[in-house]
Amino acid sequence: MVLNSCTVPEALPEGRWKFTCHLPHRLLNDRLYSVESMIVKNSANVLVRIPHCLRFQTHDLERESAWFGKFPGAVRPKMQWTTEPTDGASCVTGQPPTVTSTSRGN
C-alpha cells in the first residue's frame, strides 16, 4: 500500500454520486499502481469493497539530473530543497566557507 485517503464522512441521500480524488503533480514514482474502492457505512461497516477497480501506469517524462536509473520507492514528490554553507562546508567542497560580515560606521 502506498497511501490511503477518504472523503469526509457524511450522510448522503440515495442516488448516484461521483467522487473525485486529485493527486498532486509528480507525487507518484514511475511504476504500475492499483486502486481499491470501498463504500463504508457509519465510518466502520464496509458495505462494498472493490479491489483493483482501477490500474494505471506512471512514466517519467523528463529528468532534472543525469541519473538514468530507476528511483526507489513508491512515491516521489517534488520537494523544495535549499543548499547553504555551514561551518563544516569546507570538508565537502575542499574550499573554506565564504564569510559575509556587515560593519556599521560610527
Q: What is the pLDDT of residues 22-39, one digit of tens each?
A: 888 878 888 899 999 998
- DSSP character at residue 28: B
| Structural domain includes residue 24 | yes
Output the nine-digit C-alpha cell for 84: 547553504
| Structural domain includes residue 81 | no
Higher pLDDT, 48 or 101: 48
Q: What are phi and psi of 102, to 5 degrees?
A: -125, 130
| Structural domain includes residue 14 | no
Other Cβ atoms within 10 Å of 89 Cβ, number: 15
User: Containing domain of residue 43, as a range?
Assistant: 19-61
| Structural domain includes residue 86 | no
| Structural domain includes residue 40 | yes
| Overall domain count for the chain | 1
Q: What is the pLDDT of residue 71?
A: 76
| Structural domain includes residue 67 | no
Q: What is the pLDDT of residue 99?
A: 53
